[in-house]
Structure 1
């Protein structure tokens, strides 16, 4: 790498390895760490996300700062949430060194994203992140629930997870992540990312998923927890009919059938065929099924 300052403030392969070496950082599988080493890729992510000059972007898992720097070029403000002690400690200095004119528009939250309930500064308007593969869906759902001001989201996740998130009803990979993401947003695949832009190169391909928050929430008298409880129950035994799969949720198969009929959903249908609106109608009719389970479901 040349000793003279590069005109491009973004990180290239040599920069990433040099930073990691200086910090003694080895990417860990435990935290799903794969660092992006290609400036063109992070700029493409920012473009695909439609980041605007007035956006307040929250980034989860910034790592060494590859995407963070590209976001700072385009957004008004970037708030990065990083769990790793060493990476969190180093990132502000990287921003200050490579993009000093924007450093005052950057903030770091050193925390597990699943435990974040507030962020410094104005409410975020966008979420853009290369999410660690092992926690991508729970983190995504947590951020969408916790920060309703997030209008647009673009996440890079394992290709298989991207397919699940964007799957329509009736698809073989339509499931819990598909329905829960659709509760918040219109979801679609927004591109693919090859393995060679990462260090270390993962054993799987990656995909981009775009989520644009619904301008009007799902119209239902049921709460999110109540709807998600039905979703979890329906897919826990996805090969079974809803009459059978929802028996535990409703108290019995007969009670489940009553709730399904009241919701206008065939008891012989399977969860993979239902829209989020239909799941909401079933939850609304929990009273017809007796005492339905309404505790907070796991966000798998």
Structure 2
């Protein structure tokens, strides 16, 4: 049902009706190209069995594409006018799918529950300014999500998929790796958005996996990650001194964890951080 997807003219009509002026503050850049929407939906790998969570649906371009395939779509939208308008857009463009759309008007960073059925996939054009916190929040709260595809600023995409030892590896890379394997599966040019952003976007595919086997909690592991990268040029024995009480104690604990005290956080994988956390928070 390609006719159901939005085109640039319709997007501007709806925006004018709502007196909507997209703001950088909320990272609002709306996809207006139907082919790009189809490409995102195809790359996500969702099936008619999937229940999709979409963050920041905006005017509904991607929502309509998802509803053509998925069993149901939950959308979380912070902007009241957009949240109220979306059901009408779906009713106008894809009426048979109206009952499969569930709109939650809220800040995605504060949402803690969704109506059944629970989501099995996350597919979203994430707002540039909050993309990483939102993604981590969603992965933490909904273990039912097994797959995903997010469109983010290209620089953020590179960080999400970066392996240990690479220049772009950092906190987002390590924390996402706790939940899932991440891979870049495409680039999206600025011209398919309104308003046109100043940068390219990247598509990141996610596949849920089990976190490293560890006695430490996720919060403890993430505390080690944060400390290791807070002063990323420092050796770990110095960067983690605050967690252990001194650089000497940090060095001893790192050796017990099988990690070189003179290494830097950028060379460690998430399993290494988990081993360190066991010695940081479960000391005798």
- The alignment's TM-score, normalised by the length of structure 1, stands at 0.93
Say yes or no: does 1:97 pair with 2:92: yes
Q: What is the rounded CA distance, in whole Å, between the counterparts of 1:57 and 1:186 in structure 2?
A: 19
Say yes or no: does 1:53 pair with 2:48: yes
Cα offset for 1:289? 6.3
Residue aligned with 2:4, SS: coil
Cα offset for 1:212? 0.4
Q: What is the rounded CA distance, in whole Å, between the counterparts of 2:2 and 2:238 in structure 1?
A: 63
Cα offset for 1:258? 1.4
Contact 1:258 1:288 in 2 (8 A): no
Q: What is the rounded CA distance, in whole Å, between the counterparts of 1:14 and 1:198 in structure 2?
A: 13
Q: What is residue 146 of structure 2 aligned with on the other side? A: 151
Q: What is the rounded CA distance, in whole Å, between the counterparts of 1:225 and 1:258 in structure 2?
A: 22
Q: What is residue 279 of structure 2 aligned with on the other side? A: 285
Q: What is the rounded CA distance, in whole Å, between the counterparts of 2:236 and 2:282 in structure 1?
A: 15
In terms of mean alpha carbon deviation, does 247-256 or 167-176 score higher?
247-256
Q: What's the CA shift string for 1:227-274, capped at 9, x where partnerless?
A: 000000000000010001101121110111111011000000000000
Q: What is the rounded CA distance, in whole Å, between the counterparts of 1:213 and 1:180 in structure 2?
A: 13
Q: What is residue 71 of structure 1 aligned with on the other side? A: 66
Cα offset for 1:153? 1.0
Structure 1 segments, 4+ long, off by >2 Å, are 287-290
Q: What is the rounded CA distance, in whole Å, between the counterparts of 1:217 and 1:131 in structure 2?
A: 24
Q: Tell me which of 264, 270, 274 is aligned to 1:270.
A: 264
Say yes or no: does 1:136 pair with 2:131: yes
- Aligned pairs for 1:94-243 (under 5 A) are 94-214=89-209, 216-243=210-237
The 1:8/1:231 distance shift into structure 2, 3 A limit, reads same
Question: RMSD between aligned alpha carbons?
Answer: 1.2
Residue aligned with 1:127, SS: strand
Q: What's the CA shift string for 1:148-200, capped at 9, x where partnerless?
A: 00000100000000000000000001000000000000111111000000000
Q: What is the rounded CA distance, in whole Å, between the counterparts of 1:259 and 1:16 in structure 2?
A: 57
- Tell me the matched-pair count: 284
Q: What is residue 258 of structure 1 aligned with on the other side? A: 252
The 1:7/1:222 distance shift into structure 2, 3 A limit, reads closer
Q: What is residue 20 of structure 1 aligned with on the other side? A: 15
5+ unaligned residues in a row in structure 1: which ranges? 1-5, 291-300
Contact 1:262 1:288 in 2 (8 A): no
Residue aligned with 1:114, SS: coil
Q: What is the rounded CA distance, in whole Å, between the counterparts of 1:171 and 1:7 in structure 2?
A: 41
Cα offset for 1:217? 2.8
